[in-house]
Amino acid sequence: MLLSQARILCLLAAGLLAGCGGASKPETAGPKPSLVVTTVTPVKQKMERTIAVSGSVAAWQEMSLGVELTGIRVAEVLVEVGDQVRAGQPLLRLDARTLQVQARQADASVAQARASLQLARANSERGATLVKQGLISSSNADELLATLTSAEAQVATAEADRDAARLRLGFATLTAPDAGLISARAVQPGQIVSSGTDLLRLIRQGRLEWRAELTETDLTRVPIGSAVELASPGGQTILGRVRAVSPALDPETRTGILYADLPAPGDLRSGMFAQGQILLGATTAAVLPREAIVFRDGFPYVFVAQAAADQAGQTRSRDQEAFNVVQRRITVGARRGDFTEIQSGLKPTERVVVRGAGFLSDGDLVREVAGAAPVLAQEQTP
């Protein structure tokens, strides 16, 4: 009897122990990181401040060349488009035979007028002597003096006509007013030309320039002499220099024009459209890889690493297994290569997500790749 009671007590004790064991709860696992990322801190770099803008290539000065005569046939054209010419070089000749005849006629008229003047002078001198001797009246002497004056005037007129005829003969040859490059030709041998018609066009000294429209904000940032880099169709980088900035803005568009000389235009041609950038000088700035910057709704953001809290409310350091990220809006500046200047919104010691930033949302829990080296460690000198 006593043995049975002992067995019952043992069974009850075992049941109680089993019940207590079944009431224990399993440990709850913490949240798992959503993504594996890498982070960096901003570093200081020398950044070239630039203004990216597009513009057109044009001639520094393009001169329209024509003749000052009308109704004369072209005898020969001595240049082609693309020819380099020097100042005073003949470019075109007209049929000058008629002009040569007119010039000889003018020379003959001068000779005739001078002969008449010589005779009038001799008669006037003779008349003065006869008046003193009382052989002719004073009125006759006055007539001889008037004839002399008229002969002098005829000589002056004949000489002026001769000079005009020679000048017209000189117009029969069109010469280059300055050294340069022939950019257009609109005349052929045998063509009857008239004054005021553009026959040839000359890019003075062969100089080209780049003209770009800038906003009022950018225009005030560009000093005279700033360097310019243009991309040519052949892939070359064409260097230029700002020679002038428009002193006034268009009241409707609020833009002004920048003029940059192109000493060596390469394969650029007048009338081309060229993308370029204006170099405003280097400055030291905090930069991040472009990959770290995410644009949402047209604004730039970065994801900053922030310590995550454990279940008991304790804060863990970012160097532990996982951490949260905070989306933060920043202000960006110049872009150079793979790096972007950070102007505001980020402290120098804060770490920013680089790889994987485009897949994150504010507050996400992430884990950093163990032993990942900072991306910018070897990029401090561009």
For residue 380, name the pLDDT band (cuts at 50, 70, 90). Answer: very low
Give the pLDDT of residue 31.
62
Q: What are phi and psi of 115, to 5 degrees?
A: -65, -40
Q: Which two tokens stand for residue 91?
A: 């470019």
Angle at 246 between CA 243 and CA 247, to 5 degrees: 120
Q: Which two tokens stand for residue 222?
A: 């560009």
Crossing angle of helices 97-133/138-171, nearest 10°? Answer: 160
Name the percent of the chain lying above pLDDT 90.
46
Give the pLDDT of residue 370.
56
What b/e string do you get for 13-45 counting C-beta neighbours within 10 Å, with b at 16 or more? Answer: eeeeeeeeeeeeeeeeeeeebbeebbbbbbbeb
Give the pLDDT of residue 23.
45
Residue 30 CB partners (closer than 8 Å, separation 6+): 310, 311
For residue 192, name the pLDDT band (cuts at 50, 70, 90). Answer: very high
What b/e string do you get for 229-262 counting C-beta neighbours within 10 Å, with b at 16 or more? Answer: ebebeeeeebbbebeebeeebeeeeebbbbbbbb
Give the pLDDT of residue 57.
95
For residue 126, name the pLDDT band (cuts at 50, 70, 90). Answer: confident
Give the pLDDT of residue 179.
95
Where do the domains of the chain lie, and which CATH numbers do they carry? Answer: 35-46+284-368 (2.40.420.20), 52-60+204-282 (2.40.30.170), 61-95+172-203 (2.40.50.100), 97-169 (1.10.287)
Give the pLDDT of residue 79.
95
User: Which is nearest to 278 in space by CA: 191, 332, 337, 211?
Assistant: 211
- Under 8 Å between Cβ of 326 and 306: yes
Q: Is the pLDDT of residue 381 over 70?
A: no
Per DSSP bridges, beta strands 299-306 and 294-296 are antiparallel
User: Which is nearest to 272 in space by CA: 307, 231, 300, 312?
Assistant: 231
| CA dist., res. 259 & res. 211, Å (int) | 5
| CA dist., res. 41 & res. 346, Å (int) | 10
Q: Is the pLDDT of residue 15 over 90?
A: no
Q: Is the pLDDT of residue 310 over 50?
A: no
pLDDT digits (tens, 9 = 90+) for 356-365: 888 888 888 9
Any idea which of 49-53, 66-70, 84-88, 185-189 has the lowest mean pLDDT? 49-53
Q: Is 136 helix (H, G, I), strand (E, B) or coil?
A: coil
Give the pLDDT of residue 13.
46
| CA dist., res. 33 & res. 356, Å (int) | 13
- Provide the β-strand partners of residue 277: 52, 229
| CA dist., res. 64 & res. 198, Å (int) | 6
User: Which is nearest to 40 in space by CA: 356, 380, 371, 352?
Assistant: 352
Chain centroid offset of residue 342 CA: 26
Q: Which two tokens stand for residue 281?
A: 């000088």
Name the percent of the chain lying above pLDDT 70.
84
Any idea which of 175-179, 292-296, 308-312 has the lowest mean pLDDT? 308-312
For residue 311, name the pLDDT band (cuts at 50, 70, 90). Answer: very low
pLDDT digits (tens, 9 = 90+) for 20-73: 444 444 444 556 666 888 889 898 888 778 888 999 999 999 999 999 999 999
| CA dist., res. 230 & res. 239, Å (int) | 6
| CA dist., res. 238 & res. 222, Å (int) | 19
Q: Is 316 helix (H, G, I), strand (E, B) or coil?
A: coil
Give the pLDDT of residue 302.
93
Q: Which two tokens stand for residue 112?
A: 């005739």
Q: Which of residues 368 and 12 earns the better pLDDT score? A: 368
Q: What share of the chain is helix, strand, coil (3-state, %, to 5)?
A: 25, 35, 35
- Under 8 Å between Cβ of 168 and 141: no
pLDDT digits (tens, 9 = 90+) for 154-163: 999 999 999 9
| Rg, the chain, Cα only | 47
CA distances from 178 to 38, 91, 92, 122 (A): 64, 12, 15, 51
Q: Which of residues 189 and 368 earns the better pLDDT score? A: 189
**Mean of pLDDT over the chain:** 83
Q: Is the pLDDT of residue 377 over 90?
A: no
| Maximal CA-CA distance, the chain | 202
- Under 8 Å between Cβ of 67 and 195: yes
CA distances from 139 to 116, 121, 143, 313 (A): 21, 17, 6, 137
Q: Is the pLDDT of residue 224 over 80?
A: yes
Give the pLDDT of residue 368.
83
pTM of the model: 0.60
